[in-house]
Amino acid sequence: MADGAASKRPLSPHLQIWRFTVTLAASITHRGTGVVLYGGLLLMALWVIGLALNPALFATVSAIIHSPLGFILIAGFVWSLSFHLMNGLRHLYWDSGRGFALKTATMTAWLVYIAATLATALVIWAGYGGSA
């Protein structure tokens, strides 16, 4: 970059040839759900602190949990954990040196999205006493 001429080099064409693949989506979603779970664990800590030490804090957290926002937060947390868990197992399978074939990776990525969504529906339905 020092001689100025270097800045006239052609740019990498990656922005023009980019296209959707489910394996790329899954890897971005793994990172996104990891961050969501980070926030979720911190919110869970507020719940358990309130429960143990501060009834007023528990009442506030509980009011949010029972609001529509609370339902969205819980459903988002459950989907994120389901996805991250299943895709995490996919990662661990790769770490064992298997599952890299493009066809396999594409199939398992779709599988993780579908299974995480089904698991979330089941957890939410059962968790709200089969009435949600």
Partner 1 sequence: MSKKGTSTFILQRASAVLLAPLSIWFLFEIVSALTADYATARAWVAAPWNALLLGAFFIIGALHMRIGLAEIIVDYVHSWAKDVFLFINWLAALGLIAAAAWSIYTLSFAG
- Residues of this chain that interact with partner 1 (CB under 8 A) are 31, 34-35, 37-38, 41-42, 44-45, 47-49, 51-53, 55, 58-59, 62, 65-66, 74, 78, 81-82, 85, 88-89, 91-92, 95, 119, 123-124, 126-129
Helices marked H in 54-101: 55-65, 68-95
If binding is defined by CB under 6 A, does position 48 make contact with ligand HEM?
Answer: no
Cβ distance 82 to 122 under 8 Å? no
Q: CB-based contacts of 105: which residues, under 8 Å, 6+ apart?
A: 23, 99
Per CB under 6 A, 88 contacts ligand HEM:
yes
CA dist 80 and 120 (Å) reads 9
- Nearest distance from C-beta of residue 131 to ligand HEM, angstroms: 28
71: helix, strand or coil = helix
Q: How far is the CB of 85 from ligand HEM (least distance, A)?
A: 4
Binding site for ligand HEM (CB under 6 A): 30-31, 34-35, 37-38, 41, 84-85, 88-89, 91-92
